[in-house]
Structure 1
Amino acid sequence: MVALVVTLAGACSFPVQGEFMGRELPVPPERTRTILVIYNHGFTSETAGTYRPQLPPILQTLARRNPDVVVFSQVRNTSRLDAVHHMSYIEAAIEHFHRQQGIPLGNIVLAGQSCGGWGSLQAAAYSYPQIGGVVAFAPTCHGRLPHSTQTRMRRLQEIEQLARRARFPGLIFLYEGDSYYDVDDWAGFDKASGLPADGVHIVRLGRDAVLRVCARCTLDSHGVVWDRQFDAAYYESEVQPLVERVRERIRAAAGPR
């Protein structure tokens, strides 16, 4: 398990803990041609401090299918995390791999489930717009429904702010019947973002689509990403094309060889 402490701007220190899932970083001369995926899990107070590195099947496929991709599963093990802290932990990982390990920002893809997805979007939108891409599964960090009026208004405002700041390729997967958010909360994202066609793309799954790819999601859609049928249905059409876009940008930045 990788374990270190990174100090961010403002003198705040956050640990970077986790494991490479499969292959590790190559030798330094090859790192400018390597795509690094940093995956972050969700978070609940019931399981705080007990997280172990793991990957949903769709990211296991990503690592297996692409020999130039390295996946780091980050864990945020502490007894309490405010919503803003998820972003800070992810920023610490970006800082470490960029400054200490020599991975260009454009080679880094952030991926995350729930609070991990929300923190990944925030880190890319507010601190690292040069990031290679983001894949967010059920991104939220506002507690279980129903939300108070104040929480819902804050969430809508935060989504609009994300949309206006997003300048990176990305995928956002949303599921009808999720117990932590309403899919309609994201209705204005596309209009507010003003992104080009290769910007952030939202994939919305209705209840029928959810149940086709996750038989155990009859009561709650939040964990769809952990089903292998979700991988089979959406990896080829959504995730692999994003990886290809990141790879093309890396090659373009490197110039002719």
Structure 2
Amino acid sequence: MTPRSLTLLPALALVAAACAPYPVEGDFAGRPLNGHEDPGRTIVLIHNHGFSRAHAGTYRPVTPPILRLAGDRNPDVVVFSQVRNLANPTAADHAAFIASAVAYFHAERGVPIENMILAGQSCGGWGSLYAAAFTYPTIGGVLAFAPTCHGKLPHPPEVRARRAWELVRLAERLRAQGTIFLYDGDSYYDVAEWDAFTARLAPRAPWLQIVRVSRPQILALCDACGRDSHGAYWDSRFAEAFFEDHVQRTIDGVRARIRARVAPGAD
């Protein structure tokens, strides 16, 4: 892969959803994986954007400030911003694209699945949760920002019922360390929809945190969120507020497990 350019990686055939291969496309934010001699000690953070029909098929890799800091402050972390350029993807497609990136970095680049962190916003966050829960349960961590893939509110009854069922399934299967960020004032979901998920998840995976960001907090941290909280993670003040306690915490946890697995007692 050529750093700082949009590159189509050799696609692994991943049979999911429509039984079609999903290409792995995107770019590294900052240092590439090539700069690391030992992929077994490298942490790969895979970022996935949300979805808009207006931009479908034309996405370019962009990394939000809170995830760019992960690479800037951690020399053993590389951040890969994936793009999913499909005209009309389903929620299953989003998850399958993300799972294909995990498969690529594991099989082709030698990175252990336990060394990877899945991060994403909106459909990218929802797909990251599903990939972590159902395809790669040993993934190192997950960071989901406003995860949803059900369209704007208000949702019709059948969508509300499907979403509630999907949240139950996620709570039963998710075991990764990390954080799920939920925003008051988000036009794509109601934070209260996550109450049952949170109660069900807590005894099963207490290391997966649920952070509910209030509307006043959003307005203090995001200049572009006057009408909608959904894109809060694009603001640098959001990054400053939540990076250390959540993103860095997840990275530190993955790193500690790598050291214990690869070289117990070594720095």
TM range (shorter): over 0.9
Candidates 112, 115, 118, aligned match of 1:107: 115
Q: Distance in 2 between matches of 1:28 and 1:44?
A: 34
Candidates 5, 14, 18, aligned match of 1:8: 14
Matched with 1:252 is 260
Shift of 1:28: 7.0
Matched with 2:25 is 17
Matched with 1:45 is 53
Shift of 1:6: 1.7
Q: Structure 1 residues 28 and 219, CA, compared in 2 at 3 Å: closer, same or farther?
A: closer
- Secondary structure, counterpart of 1:118 in structure 2: helix
Paired residues in the alignment total 256
Candidates 166, 169, 179, aligned match of 1:158: 166
Candidates 155, 175, 185, aligned match of 1:167: 175
Shift of 1:27: 6.0
Matches for 1:1-257 after TM superposition, within 5 Å: 1-3=6-8, 4-9=10-15, 12-26=20-34, 29-193=37-201, 194-198=203-207, 200-256=208-264, 257=266
Residues 28, 101 of structure 1: 8 Å contact kept:
no
Shift of 1:216: 2.2
Give ranges in structure 1 of 5+ residues lacking alignment: none
Q: Deviations over 1:31-66 (max 9, x none)?
A: 100000010000011110111001001011111000
Counterpart residue identity of residue 146, structure 2: A
Residues 16, 89 of structure 1: 8 Å contact kept:
yes
Residues 146, 181 of structure 2: 8 Å contact kept:
yes
- Secondary structure, counterpart of 2:23 in structure 1: strand
Q: Which runs of 4+ in 1 moved over 3 A?
A: 26-29
Q: Structure 1 residues 117 and 135, CA, compared in 2 at 3 Å: closer, same or farther?
A: same
Residues 36, 42 of structure 2: 8 Å contact kept:
no
The share of aligned pairs that are identical, in percent, is 50
Q: TM-score, normalised by structure 2?
A: 0.92
Q: Deviations over 1:179-222 (max 9, x none)?
A: 10110111112221232432x11110111111111132111000
Q: Distance in 1 between matches of 2:186 and 2:49?
A: 17
Counterpart residue identity of residue 240, structure 1: Q
Counterpart residue identity of residue 7, structure 2: V
Q: Distance in 1 between matches of 2:227 and 2:35?
A: 46
- Secondary structure, counterpart of 1:47 in structure 2: coil
Q: TM-score, normalised by structure 1?
A: 0.96
Q: Structure 1 residues 28 and 236, CA, compared in 2 at 3 Å: closer, same or farther?
A: closer
